[in-house]
């Protein structure tokens, strides 16, 4: 039995916009095997989301902090397909996949620009928290609307 039941087929499925951010592999991203260390892939996704929050959604991380909210990663999954190396430029595509009362699940792909091949894909579960306490917060309606593009 699946941990996550399938959505009710009678209810309409919301499809959210996908956004892209271009990033370059930096020398300090490289590990002893001369490719990008596996932990850096999630850094790329976090950097892309930070960029996209302001540029694509019109709500920067600073705006969340000013309202007393922040996002934390509850769970992450990544599947590596092809290594990234020094000199590679990538496009990080992200898309909200699910919205919950207290969080969002964001899917991602990291694609090499020079050959358009998938390097990694996965998802991150984010929880909205009260910045001061770190406790989970219910996502305000206006923020849900902002992310529902």
- Secondary structure of residue 142 in the 3-state scheme: helix
How high is the pLDDT of residue 12? 55
- pTM of the predicted protein model: 0.87
Residue 49, domain CATH = 3.10.129.10
* C-beta of residue 113 within 8 angstroms of C-beta of residue 91: yes
Range of the domain at 26: 18-147
Residues facing residue 111 across a β-bridge: 91, 118
Span 108-119, pLDDT tens digits: 999 999 999 999
4 within domain boundaries: no
Span 31-46, average pLDDT: 96
CB 60 within 8 A of CB 54: yes
Whether 5 is covered by a domain: the verdict is no
Secondary structure element (H or E) that encloses residue 126, with its range: strand 118-130
Residues 47/49/55/57 CA torsion (nearest 10 deg): -170
Write out pLDDT tens, residues 71-119.
Answer: 999 999 999 999 999 999 999 999 999 999 999 999 999 999 999 999 9
Q: Is residue 97 part of a domain?
A: yes
Q: Specify the number of domains making up the chain.
A: 1
Is the residue at 9 inside a domain?
A: no
52-67 pLDDT, tens digit per residue, is 999 999 999 999 899 9
């Amino acid at each position: 039995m699946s941990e996550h039941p399938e959505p009710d087929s009678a209810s309409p499925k919301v499809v959210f916009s996908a956004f892209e951010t271009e990033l370059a592999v930096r020398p300090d991203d490289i590990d002893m095997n001369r490719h990008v260390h596996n932990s850096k892939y999630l850094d790329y996704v976090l950097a892309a989301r930070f960029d996209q929050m302001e540029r694509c959604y019109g709500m920067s991380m600073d705006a969340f902090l000013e309202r007393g909210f922040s996002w934390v990663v509850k769970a992450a999954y990544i599947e590596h397909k092809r290594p990234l190396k020094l000199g590679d430029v990538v496009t990080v595509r992200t898309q909200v996949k699910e919205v919950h009362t207290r969080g969002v699940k964001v899917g991602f792909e990291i694609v090499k620009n020079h050959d358009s091949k998938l390097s990694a894909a996965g998802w991150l579960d984010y929880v909205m928290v009260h910045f001061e306490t770190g406790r989970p917060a219910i996502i305000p309606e206006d923020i849900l609307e902002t992310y529902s593009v």
